[in-house]
Amino acid sequence: MPRKLTLDYVSFLLVFLGLPLAIFLIFVISPFLQAVYYSMTNWTGFSPAMDFVALDNFVRLFQDSSFLQAMGNNIVLAIVVPLITIAIALVFASMITVGGASHGQVRGLKGSSFYRVISFFPYVIPAIVIAILWNMIYQPNGLLNGLLALVGLNTNEFSWLGDERTAMGSTIFVIVWSMVGFYMVLFVAAIKGIPAETLEAARIDGAGRFRTVVSILLPQMRDNVQTAYIYLGILALDAFVYMAGLNATGGPGNSTLVMSQYLFRTAFEKGQFGLASAMGVVLAVVTLAFAALVIGVFRLLGGKDDGDRA
């Protein structure tokens, strides 16, 4: 029997369904559709005149070696950054929550609250500030080479961001360093939500710290890890702020160039907004595909959700 349309019910739908849906359509879907249209034109961005060129911009993109390299760099970041960040964050979260004494109540390491604050500190610093600071640290006469010289490692003023062999690795380190603290706190909150009786029972059964993490914590944190992986992957597929602050030119041999960076240069330096819009559409599609892939992989590894089993 259909629900009777009362004033209260209609008001509820308008406020809690209609208004959010309208905002989503206006500020999310509409700009994306507009970008798709511009991607099929030769719009310069500074003139109302534009010609429809269909898929020519997309053909140009996939014949552009710099764009393909930027896409490859983004894919590397989307794979490496979430894996390393989540692994380190899980280790820290486990140490803070269950890494304490092996007898008595399950607890973290002594002074774990202090470690939590220190680890979270980099996350409160704006990304552009982090990028500029590490850019100076990585300079040939910067802090890193100075510290290495103090311990007897003479780097001959090595340029960490100016060498194709180390530019991407140095960049990944900065992104991971800045994000580990936040995801550690996220995982600590997830672990705190696991019943203490479960952890106590595992300890009574003789499970060590590693077995507790692998067999008890991780299975119950699957949704948290999945969410973290998607968010970190989206960050890695963008990474514009970090790249602009660390290596604004794209690094030696475009070794750190990413799609968002190339998009910015194409639009605002070359005045090719139609082509830049095509890059944005490709980046959006890649991001959606990445999120769908991660969700699919986690469903395969972890089985169906509880709602699907019912």
pTM to 2 decimals? 0.85
Residue 280 lies in a domain: yes
Dihedrals phi, psi of 72, to nearest 5 degrees: -60, -40
Identify the three-state secondary structure at position 275: helix
CB-hemisphere CA count at 13 Å for 207? 20
310 residues of the chain, pLDDT tens digit each: 556 667 777 787 788 888 888 999 999 899 999 999 999 999 988 888 889 998 999 999 999 999 999 999 999 999 999 999 999 999 888 888 876 555 555 566 676 777 777 888 888 899 999 999 999 999 999 899 999 988 888 888 899 999 999 999 999 999 999 999 999 989 988 888 887 777 777 777 776 777 777 778 888 888 899 999 999 999 999 899 999 999 988 889 999 999 999 999 999 999 999 999 999 999 999 999 999 999 999 888 775 554 444 4
What count of other Cβ atoms lies within 10 Å of the Cβ of residue 162? 15
Residue 30 lies in a domain: no
What six digits make up the tokens of 159? 């340029």
**What is d(CA 240, CA 267) in angstroms, rounded to the nearest whole number?**
14
Residue 14 lies in a domain: no
Report the b/e string of 130-156 with b at 16+ CB within 10 A.
bbeebbebbbeebebbeeeeeeeeeee
Residue 293 lies in a domain: yes
Residue 228 lies in a domain: yes
Let me know if 111 is exposed, middle or buried by CB neighbors in 10 A (0-12, 13-18, 19+): exposed
Instruction: Report the CATH number that the domain containing residue 58 is assigned in CATH.
Output: 1.10.3720.10
Residue 5 lies in a domain: no
* Residue 98 near residue 108, CB atoms below 8 Å: yes
Residue 19 lies in a domain: no
The closest of 89, 131, 107 to 242, measured between CA atoms, is: 131
* Residue 52 near residue 37, CB atoms below 8 Å: no
User: Residue length, the chain?
Assistant: 310
* 305: containing domain: 39-309
Total of domains in the chain = 1
Dihedrals phi, psi of 280, to nearest 5 degrees: -65, -40
Residue 78 lies in a domain: yes
**What is d(CA 184, CA 147) in angstroms, rounded to the nearest whole number?**
28
User: How far does CA 184 lie from the centroid of its chain?
Assistant: 14
